Structure 1
Amino acid sequence: MQASALLNLLQFASPALPIGAYSYSQGLEAALENGTVHNAPTARAWILRHLHEVVAQWEAPIAWRLMQAWTNRDWQGVDDWSERFIASRDSAEFRAETIQMGYSLTKLLAELDILDAEAKARLQREPEVALPTAFACAVAALKIPHDAALLAMLFAWAENQVLVCVKSVPLGQVAGQRMLLSLREDIETAARYAQSVQDDAMCNWAPGLSLLSMQHEVQYSRLYRS
Structure 2
Amino acid sequence: MNAASLLHLLQFASPALPIGGYSYSQGLEAAIEEGLVTDADSARAWIVCYLDEVVARWDAPVLWRLMSAFAAHDAGTIAQWGGCFLASRDTAELRAESVQMGYSLSRLIAELGVADTRALGEDVTLPLAFACAVDGLAIPHEEALLAMVFAWVENQVLVCVKSVPLGQVAGQRLLLSLRPEIERAVELARRLPDDELSNWAPGLSMLSMRHEVQHGRLYRS
TM-score exceeds 0.5: yes
Q: Deviations over 1:131-183 (max 9, x none)?
A: 00000000011000000000000000000000000000000000000000000
- Displacement of 1:120 in angstroms is 2.6
- Displacement of 1:204 in angstroms is 1.1
Alignment of 1:133-172 (within 5 A): 133-172=128-167
- Alignment correspondent of 1:17: 17
Match of 2:188 among 188, 193, 205: 193
Paired residue type of 1:205: W
Work out the CA distance in 1 between the residues paired with 2:188 and 2:136: 25
Paired residue type of 1:83: G
Work out the CA distance in 2 between the residues paired with 1:120 and 1:25: 27
Work out the CA distance in 2 between the residues paired with 1:66 and 1:75: 10
Work out the CA distance in 2 between the residues paired with 1:111 and 1:121: 12
Work out the CA distance in 2 between the residues paired with 1:120 and 1:66: 14
Work out the CA distance in 1 between the residues paired with 2:20 and 2:164: 21
Aligned residues between the structures: 221
- Alignment correspondent of 2:37: 37
CA contact (8 A) 2:110 2:117 kept: yes
Paired residue type of 1:213: S
- Displacement of 1:220 in angstroms is 1.1
Q: Deviations over 1:81-102 (max 9, x none)?
A: 0000000000000000000000
Work out the CA distance in 1 between the residues paired with 2:20 and 2:117: 22
Paired residue type of 1:74: D
- Displacement of 1:122 in angstroms is 1.0
Work out the CA distance in 1 between the residues paired with 2:114 and 2:185: 29
The answer to whether structure 1 residue 122 and structure 2 residue 156 are counterparts is no
Work out the CA distance in 2 between the residues paired with 1:122 and 1:220: 39
- Displacement of 1:223 in angstroms is 0.1
SS at match of 1:114: coil
Identity of aligned residues (%): 64
Work out the CA distance in 1 between the residues paired with 2:210 and 2:114: 40
In the superposition, the TM-score normalised over structure 2's length comes to: 0.99
Work out the CA distance in 1 between the residues paired with 2:19 and 2:212: 21
SS at match of 1:61: helix
Work out the CA distance in 1 between the residues paired with 2:148 and 2:162: 21
SS at match of 2:36: coil
CA contact (8 A) 2:13 2:147 kept: yes
Work out the CA distance in 1 between the residues paired with 2:118 and 2:55: 29
Work out the CA distance in 2 between the residues paired with 1:38 and 1:204: 25
- Alignment correspondent of 1:79: 79
Paired residue type of 2:73: R
Paired residue type of 1:45: A
Match of 2:198 among 198, 203, 206: 203
CA contact (8 A) 2:157 2:171 kept: yes
Q: Give the aligned CA root-mean-square deviation in angstroms.
A: 0.6
- Alignment correspondent of 2:64: 64
Paired residue type of 2:48: L
- Displacement of 1:221 in angstroms is 1.3
Paired residue type of 2:140: P
- Displacement of 1:42 in angstroms is 0.3
In the superposition, the TM-score normalised over structure 1's length comes to: 0.97
